[in-house]
C-alpha cells in the first residue's frame, strides 16, 4: 500500500498541471498562437472522453465477468465513426449552419426550434448524466482507497474531486457566452488527459504481459493464463441478444451522449477532421480494448479471487511491487474520470441555462437587462448544483457496480436516437412525434432501468417483464428488456405521432434544412418576416453585448438605416443569438421582437416546393453527369478498339502488297530479259522455271488470302463427317515425308491412344492444319533430325500435337503468332523466308470453325509444341476443350 499524502499529492499535482496547461493554452489562444488545437489529432483525442473511468477500470471487470461482450462498448463507436459520412458529417454540417450549442439545441432545432423538445432532452440528459458524473467521483475515491487501504478513511476524496472539477470548469469553461466557441484551455487539458490515460493503460498491459510467463500464484483465482483468456473470450449463450443490444447502445451513445455530441459535433472545427477521426478514434479504442486482455489474464492468475476485477488495473502493479506503475495507473484513471466530468457538467450547464432557466426568465420579464452576465452566472450555478447532486449520488450509491450505471446512462442517451437520427433522413418527422417518442421512452427507461439502479421499483420492472414477455423468455436480462422496450416504444410513438400530425410552417422549413443539409439547403431557407430595427438591436445588445451588436447592425446585411430589417438579417441575428442561448430560446426571443406579417403556410409551402425542385434538379444533374461519364468511358474503349483494328488492317494491306510485289518484280524482270533478245536455251529455260515458281507462289498467296477470308466470313465449304484422326495423322506424316527427307528430318508418329479416335470434322481441313504445322516444324527444327507428331486423348478431347526442337519463339512474337502475316517479320532464328505467314492464321480459323482449338502449348530453347484439339465423337456432352 502507498501513503495517503503521496497519493493525494500526486493527484493534486496532476490536477494543478491540468490548470497550468489550460491557463497557458488560453493565453496562447488569446495571442493567436493556438492553431495546433484545430488539428484533426486534437479533435480525435478530445473524442476519447468516451473512455471514462468506467472504461479504464471497469472494462477489465466486465471482461472477467461477461467475456468478450466488453468489446461491444468500443465496437459500437468504431462502426459509427467508420460510417461517419452517413450521420456524423451531416450532423456537423447542420450544427454549423444552425449554430447549434448542444444536443438539446440540435433536436429542438430539427422540430421547429421547439422549446418542449429541448426541455425534454435537457431533463433526460440531467437524469442520465448526473449518476454518470457520480460514478467518476466514486471511481476516483475507490482508486485512492485501493492504493492506500484503510488510511483513506476520513478523507472525502469524492468531495474534493467534485469541488476541484467544479472550480476548473467555472474557471475555464464559462468565460464566453457563445457556447459553440471553442474552449481552448479545456480542449488542451482533455487532449493531454487522453494521452495520459492511454499511456497508463498500455504500460499496465505491457507489465501484465511480462507477468504471464511467470505462471500463476498458488492462491490466485485461476492457475493458468490460457483458461483465463478463454474466460475473457466467452460469448454469452443468449443467441447474441445482449451483444446486439450493447453494440446498438454504444453506437447510439457516441452520438447521443451530451458530452460526446459536444466534442464530436459542437467542437468540430472542420468536416475534414472527421476523415482522420474515422480511423484514428477506432484505433484508439482498439488499443484500449486490446490492453484489457493481458490485464484480465494476469489479474486472474496473479491475484486472489477476493480482489475485485474492476480494480485489476491498479492492484496488479501494486501487489506485484511496482508502486510507480500503480501511481501511473492511478493518474490514468484520474484522467479518465476528470476529462469526462469537465465536459459533461459544462454541457449540462449550457443546456440547463439555455433550455430551462432562460425560457423561464424571458417569460417572467420582458426587460432582460444585462443578459450576458446572467447567462454566465446561471451556467456557473448549474455546474455547482450538478456537482452537488453528483456528490450526493456518489455518497449514497457507494456500493453500485461501475458497469451498471454506465450502461443505464447509455440507454438514457439512446432515447434521443429515434428523434435525432430519423429526423435527419425523414422529412415527415414532426414535433408531436418527437415529444411523444422522447417522453414515452424516457418514462420506460426511468421505470425499468434508472429507478431500479437505486433499488426503487425493481418489483414493478419485473412485473412489467412478466406481463409483456412470454414465459419461455424468462428470466430476461434487465438491460436488454429495459433498452428494447423503451427504444421500441419511443420509435413507434415517434412514427405514429409524426404520421398523425401535420407539421407547421417552421417545422417544415427546419425539416428541409436538416434532411437536405448535404444538398446545401441548410442555410438557404429563410422565413419571410421583418422586425423593428431598434427593438431587435436592443435584444441583440442585451444578449451579445454592445460591441457585437454594433458590429452586426453596422454591416451591409442590416439594410442601412431603414426602420425595419428583413427576414434574412432577422435569421442571421437569430442564429447569432442561438450561439449564446440556444436555438429554442433565441427563436423565442426573436419571435417576440419580430413585427409585421407572420409567415403564411402557403408562403412557406411555396418556398419549400421551390427548394425541393432545385434539390431534385441538382440530384438529377448529378445522376446525368455520372451517366455521361460512363458513356464517355465506353466510347473511349470503343475508339481504342477501332484504332487497333485500323492498325491491323493497315498492316495486313502492307504485308499483302509486299508479298505480291516480290514475285511480281521477279516475274517482270525475267520476262523483260526474255523479251530483250535471244538467250541460250538452258538460261531461258531456267528463267521460265523461275517465272513459273514465282507465279505458283503468287497463286498460293492469293489462294491462302481467299481461303482465310472465306473462313473468317464463314462461307468456306466444310465437309464434316466422322473420321479417324489416327488415319489423318498418318496420311499427313506420309504427305510431308518427302519435304522432311529433303531437309534431312524424319517425322515420328506417336499414337498414345487405344481405340481409333473418331472425330466429327472435315478430314481434308484437319490434314491441311497438320501439314501446315509439320511444314513449320520441319523448317524451324534447328538442324535436328526428328519432328514428333503425337495423337493422344484426355477427358474426351483429342489432341494432335506437333513438336519441333528448334530455338523457340520469342516472347514478343507469341501474342501475334496466330495473326495474319505473323511470321513475315519473323522472330530471331525463326523467320519464315518462304511462306507468307498465313498458315497459322488459317489453321486456327479452321480449328475454330470445326469446334476445336489450336494453341501453342510449349516453347523455349528446346523447341516448340503446337496442339490442335477437338472433342472425340464418343466424348461425354460435358467434355470441355477449355478445361484441357
Partner 1 sequence: MSATPPLSQAPPVKAMPPMGEPPARSAPSALTMRRWRDARRAVAIGSIVLLSPLALSIFDRGTVLGVPSVVLFVFAVWLAGIAITRLLAKTIDER
Residue 631 or 709 having the CB closest to partner 1? 631
User: Cβ 421 to partner 1, closest distance in Å?
Assistant: 15
566 binds partner 1 (CB under 8 A): no
Do 809 and 823 form a contact (C-beta atoms < 8 A)?
no
First vs last C-alpha separation in the chain:
77
398 binds partner 1 (CB under 8 A): no
Residue 264 or 293 having the CB closest to partner 1? 293
30 binds partner 1 (CB under 8 A): no
State the DSSP code for 819: S
Residues 287-306 that bind partner 1 (CB under 8 A): 289-290, 293
User: Cβ 622 to partner 1, closest distance in Å?
Assistant: 8
Structure-derived torsion over alpha carbons of residues 292, 293, 299, 300, reported in degrees to the nearest 10: 140
648 binds partner 1 (CB under 8 A): no
Report the C-alpha gap between 59 and 50 in whole angstroms.
13
User: Cβ 40 to partner 1, closest distance in Å?
Assistant: 10
839 binds partner 1 (CB under 8 A): no
233 binds partner 1 (CB under 8 A): yes
876 binds partner 1 (CB under 8 A): no
Distance set, CA 736 to CA 705, 740, 751, 767, 787 (Å): 23, 6, 17, 11, 11
Residue from the set 28, 217, 244, 739 that interacts with partner 1 by CB under 8 A: 244
| Per-residue b or e along 73-103, where b marks 16 or more CB atoms closer than 10 Å to that residue's CB | bbbbbbebbeebeebbbbbbbbbbbbbbbbb
Residue from the set 3, 5, 240, 828 that interacts with partner 1 by CB under 8 A: 240
Residue 622 or 756 having the CB closest to partner 1? 622
What the block records as the C-alpha cell of 476 is 430476461
Beta bridge partners of 426: none
User: Cβ 377 to partner 1, closest distance in Å?
Assistant: 41
818 binds partner 1 (CB under 8 A): no
User: Cβ 63 to partner 1, closest distance in Å?
Assistant: 10
Beta bridge partners of 747: 787
Report the C-alpha gap between 170 and 162 in whole angstroms.
12
What the block records as the C-alpha cell of 611 is 427548394
Residue from the set 18, 51, 75, 316 that interacts with partner 1 by CB under 8 A: 75
Residue 137 or 476 having the CB closest to partner 1? 476
Residue from the set 85, 425, 454, 460 that interacts with partner 1 by CB under 8 A: 85
User: Cβ 61 to partner 1, closest distance in Å?
Assistant: 17
**In what helix (H) or strand (E) does residue 860 lie, and over which residues does it extend?**
strand 853-860
Residue corresponding to grid cell 495507473 = 329
Site string for partner 1, 187-226 (x = CB under 8 A): --------------------------------------xx
86 binds partner 1 (CB under 8 A): yes
Beta pairing class for 530-532 and 564-565:
antiparallel
Q: Residue 217 contacts by C-beta under 8 Å, 6 or more apart in sequence?
A: 301, 302, 303
Report the C-alpha gap between 43 and 255 in whole angstroms.
15
Distance from the Cα of residue 418 to its chain's centroid:
23
Site string for partner 1, 88-127 (x = CB under 8 A): -x--------------------------------------
159 binds partner 1 (CB under 8 A): no
User: Cβ 621 to partner 1, closest distance in Å?
Assistant: 11
Q: What angle do CA 868, 873, 879 make, to 5 degrees?
A: 70
Q: Which stretch binds partner 1 (CB under 8 A): 8-16, 82-90, 389-397, 588-596?
A: 82-90
Residue 626 or 673 having the CB closest to partner 1? 626
User: Cβ 632 to partner 1, closest distance in Å?
Assistant: 5
Spatial CA neighbour of 582 closest among 356, 381, 803: 356
Spatial CA neighbour of 327 closest among 444, 418, 441, 196: 196
654 binds partner 1 (CB under 8 A): no
User: Cβ 144 to partner 1, closest distance in Å?
Assistant: 33
Q: Which stretch binds partner 1 (CB under 8 A): 73-81, 151-159, 520-528, 847-855?
A: 73-81
Residue from the set 24, 68, 656, 758 that interacts with partner 1 by CB under 8 A: 68
Q: Which stretch binds partner 1 (CB under 8 A): 121-129, 162-170, 283-291, 774-782?
A: 283-291
Do 110 and 423 form a contact (C-beta atoms < 8 A)?
yes
Residues 612-641 that bind partner 1 (CB under 8 A): 625-626, 629-630, 632-633, 635-636, 639-640
232 binds partner 1 (CB under 8 A): yes
Report the C-alpha gap between 149 and 143 in whole angstroms.
10
User: Cβ 84 to partner 1, closest distance in Å?
Assistant: 9
Spatial CA neighbour of 445 closest among 479, 496, 398, 396: 479
User: Cβ 484 to partner 1, closest distance in Å?
Assistant: 15
Q: What is the DSSP string of 347-387?
A: HHHHHHIIIIIHHHHHHH-S--TTHHHHHHHHHHHHHHHHH
Spatial CA neighbour of 846 closest among 764, 776, 775: 764
Q: Give the SS3 label for residue 590.
A: helix
What the block records as the C-alpha cell of 653 is 494491306
286 binds partner 1 (CB under 8 A): yes
Residue 233 or 475 having the CB closest to partner 1? 233
What the block records as the C-alpha cell of 681 is 536455251
Site string for partner 1, 262-281 (x = CB under 8 A): ---------xx--xx-xx--
Q: Which stretch binds partner 1 (CB under 8 A): 229-237, 374-382, 479-487, 715-723?
A: 229-237
229 binds partner 1 (CB under 8 A): yes
Distance set, CA 858 to CA 175, 234, 805, 821, 863 (Å): 83, 57, 11, 21, 8
Residue 86 or 688 having the CB closest to partner 1? 86
Do 871 and 881 form a contact (C-beta atoms < 8 A)?
yes
Beta bridge partners of 759: 723
Distance set, CA 787 to CA 353, 736, 764, 828, 861 (Å): 99, 11, 21, 20, 15
Residue 634 or 683 having the CB closest to partner 1? 634
User: Cβ 286 to partner 1, closest distance in Å?
Assistant: 6
Residue from the set 30, 235, 605, 810 that interacts with partner 1 by CB under 8 A: 235
Q: Residue 692 contacts by C-beta under 8 Å, 6 or more apart in sequence?
A: none
Report the C-alpha gap between 756 and 731 in whole angstroms.
15
User: Cβ 59 to partner 1, closest distance in Å?
Assistant: 14
User: Cβ 590 to partner 1, closest distance in Å?
Assistant: 33
Residue 466 or 635 having the CB closest to partner 1? 635
Do 630 and 650 form a contact (C-beta atoms < 8 A)?
no
Residue 274 or 777 having the CB closest to partner 1? 274
Report the C-alpha gap between 485 and 867 in whole angstroms.
72
Residue from the set 554, 643, 654, 752 that interacts with partner 1 by CB under 8 A: 643
Residue from the set 16, 83, 195, 473 that interacts with partner 1 by CB under 8 A: 83
For residue 674, the number of C-alpha atoms closer than 13 Å in the C-beta half-sphere is 17
Number of residues in contact with partner 1 under rule CB under 8 A: 49
Residues in the site for partner 1, rule: CB under 8 A?
68, 71, 75, 78-79, 82-83, 85-86, 89, 225-226, 229-230, 232-233, 235, 239-241, 243-244, 247, 271-272, 275-276, 278-279, 282-283, 286, 289-290, 293, 625-626, 629-630, 632-633, 635-636, 639-640, 642-643, 646-647
Amino acid at each position: 500500500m502507498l501513503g495517503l499524502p503521496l497519493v493525494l499529492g500526486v493527484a493534486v499535482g496532476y490536477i494543478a498541471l491540468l490548470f497550468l496547461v489550460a491557463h497557458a493554452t488560453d493565453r496562447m489562444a488569446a495571442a493567436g498562437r493556438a492553431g495546433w488545437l484545430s488539428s484533426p489529432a486534437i479533435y480525435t483525442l478530445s473524442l476519447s472522453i468516451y473512455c471514462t473511468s468506467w472504461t479504464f477500470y471497469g472494462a477489465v471487470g466486465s471482461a472477467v465477468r461477461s467475456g468478450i461482450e466488453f468489446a461491444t462498448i468500443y465496437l459500437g463507436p468504431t462502426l459509427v465513426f467508420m460510417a461517419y459520412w452517413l450521420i456524423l458529417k451531416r450532423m456537423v454540417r447542420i450544427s454549423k449552419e444552425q449554430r447549434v450549442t448542444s444536443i438539446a439545441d440540435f433536436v429542438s432545432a430539427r422540430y421547429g426550434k421547439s422549446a418542449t423538445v429541448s426541455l425534454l432532452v435537457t431533463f433526460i440528459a440531467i437524469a442520465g448524466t448526473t449518476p454518470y458524473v457520480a460514478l467518476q467521483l466514486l471511481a476516483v475515491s475507490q482508486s485512492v482507497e485501493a492504493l492506500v487501504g484503510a488510511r483513506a478513511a476520513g478523507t472525502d476524496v469524492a468531495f474534493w474531486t467534485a469541488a476541484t472539477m467544479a472550480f476548473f470548469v467555472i474557471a475555464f469553461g464559462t468565460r464566453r457566452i457563445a457556447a459553440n466557441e471553442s474552449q481552448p484551455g479545456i480542449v488542451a487539458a482533455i487532449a493531454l488527459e487522453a494521452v495520459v490515460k492511454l499511456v497508463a493503460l498500455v504500460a499496465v498491459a505491457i507489465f501484465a504481459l511480462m507477468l504471464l510467463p511467470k505462471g500463476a500464484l498458488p492462491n490466485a483465482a485461476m492457475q493458468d493464463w490460457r483458461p483465463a483468456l478463454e474466460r475473457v473470450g466467452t460469448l454469452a449463450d443468449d443467441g447474441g441478444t445482449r451483444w446486439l443490444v450493447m453494440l446498438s447502445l454504444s453506437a447510439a451513445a457516441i452520438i447521443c451522449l451530451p458530452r460526446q455530441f459536444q466534442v464530436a459535433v459542437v467542437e468540430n472545427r472542420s468536416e475534414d477532421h472527421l476523415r482522420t477521426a474515422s480511423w484514428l478514434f477506432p484505433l484508439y479504442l482498439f488499443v484500449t480494448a486490446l490492453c484489457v486482455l493481458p490485464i484480465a489474464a494476469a489479474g486472474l492468475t496473479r491475484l486472489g479471487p477476493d480482489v475485485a476485477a474492476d480494480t485489476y488495473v491498479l492492484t496488479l502493479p501494486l501487489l506485484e511491487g511496482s508502486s510507480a506503475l500503480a501511481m501511473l495507473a492511478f493518474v490514468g484513471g484520474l484522467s479518465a474520470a476528470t476529462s469526462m466530468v469537465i465536459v459533461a457538467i459544462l454541457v449540462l450547464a449550457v443546456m440547463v441555462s439555455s433550455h430551462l432557466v432562460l425560457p423561464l426568465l424571458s417569460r417572467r420579464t420582458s426587460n432582460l437587462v444585462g443578459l450576458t452576465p446572467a447567462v454566465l452566472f446561471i451556467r456557473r450555478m448549474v455546474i455547482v448544483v450538478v456537482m452537488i447532486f453528483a456528490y450526493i449520488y456518489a455518497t449514497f450509491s457507494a456500493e453500485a457496480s461501475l458497469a451498471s450505471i454506465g450502461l443505464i446512462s447509455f440507454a438514457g442517451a439512446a432515447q434521443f436516437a429515434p428523434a435525432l437520427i430519423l429526423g435527419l433522413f425523414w422529412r415527415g418527422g414532426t414535433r408531436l412525434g418527437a415529444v411523444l417518442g422522447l417522453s414515452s421512452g424516457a418514462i420506460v427507461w426511468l421505470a425499468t432501468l434508472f429507478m431500479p439502479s437505486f433499488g426503487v421499483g425493481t418489483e414493478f420492472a419485473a412485473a412489467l417483464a412478466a406481463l409483456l414477455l412470454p414465459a419461455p423468455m424468462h428470466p430476461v436480462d434487465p438491460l436488454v428488456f429495459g433498452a428494447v422496450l423503451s427504444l421500441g416504444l419511443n420509435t413507434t410513438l415517434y412514427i405514429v405521432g409524426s404520421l398523425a400530425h401535420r407539421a407547421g410552417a417552421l417545422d417544415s422549413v427546419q425539416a428541409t434544412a436538416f434532411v437536405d443539409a448535404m444538398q446545401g439547403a441548410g442555410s438557404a431557407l429563410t422565413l419571410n418576416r421583418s422586425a423593428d430595427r431598434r427593438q431587435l438591436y436592443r435584444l441583440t445588445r442585451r444578449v451579445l453585448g454592445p460591441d457585437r451588436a454594433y458590429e452586426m447592425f453596422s454591416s451591409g446585411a442590416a439594410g442601412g438605416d431603414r426602420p425595419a430589417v428583413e427576414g434574412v438579417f432577422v435569421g442571421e441575428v437569430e442564429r447569432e443569438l442561438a450561439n449564446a442561448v440556444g436555438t429554442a430560446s433565441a427563436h423565442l426571443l426573436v419571435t417576440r421582437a419580430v413585427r409585421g406579417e407572420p409567415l403564411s403556410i402557403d408562403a412557406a409551402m411555396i418556398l419549400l416546393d421551390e427548394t425541393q425542385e432545385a434539390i431534385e434538379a441538382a440530384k438529377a444533374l448529378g445522376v446525368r453527369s455520372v451517366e455521361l461519364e460512363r458513356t464517355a468511358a465506353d466510347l473511349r474503349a470503343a475508339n481504342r478498339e477501332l484504332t487497333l483494328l485500323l492498325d491491323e488492317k493497315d498492316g495486313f494491306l502492307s504485308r499483302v502488297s509486299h508479298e505480291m510485289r516480290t514475285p511480281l518484280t521477279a516475274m517482270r524482270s525475267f520476262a523483260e530479259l526474255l523479251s530483250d533478245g535471244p538467250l541460250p536455251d538452258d538460261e531461258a529455260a531456267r528463267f521460265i522455271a523461275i517465272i513459273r515458281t514465282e507465279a505458283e507462289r503468287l497463286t498460293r498467296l492469293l489462294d491462302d488470302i481467299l481461303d482465310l477470308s472465306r473462313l473468317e466470313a464463314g462461307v468456306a465449304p466444310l465437309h464434316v463427317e466422322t473420321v479417324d484422326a489416327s488415319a489423318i495423322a498418318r496420311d499427313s506424316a506420309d504427305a510431308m515425308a518427302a519435304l522432311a527427307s529433303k531437309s534431312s528430318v524424319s517425322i515420328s508418329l506417336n499414337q498414345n491412344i487405344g481405340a481409333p479416335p473418331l472425330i466429327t470434322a472435315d478430314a481434308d481441313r484437319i490434314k491441311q492444319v497438320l501439314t501446315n504445322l509439320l511444314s513449320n516444324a520441319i523448317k524451324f527444327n534447328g538442324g535436328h533430325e526428328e519432328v514428333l507428331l503425337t495423337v493422344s486423348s484426355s477427358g474426351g478431347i483429342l489432341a494432335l500435337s506437333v513438336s519441333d526442337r528448334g530455338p523457340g519463339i520469342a516472347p514478343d512474337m507469341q501474342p501475334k503468332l496466330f495473326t495474319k502475316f505473323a511470321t513475315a517479320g519473323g522472330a530471331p532464328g525463326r523467320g519464315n523466308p518462304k511462306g507468307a505467314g498465313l498458315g497459322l492464321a488459317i489453321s486456327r480459323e479452321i480449328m475454330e470453325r470445326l469446334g476445336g482449338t489450336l494453341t501453342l502449348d510449349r516453347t523455349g530453347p528446346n523447341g516448340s509444341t503446337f496442339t490442335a484439339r477437338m472433342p472425340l465423337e464418343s466424348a461425354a456432352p460435358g467434355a470441355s476443350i477449355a478445361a484441357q
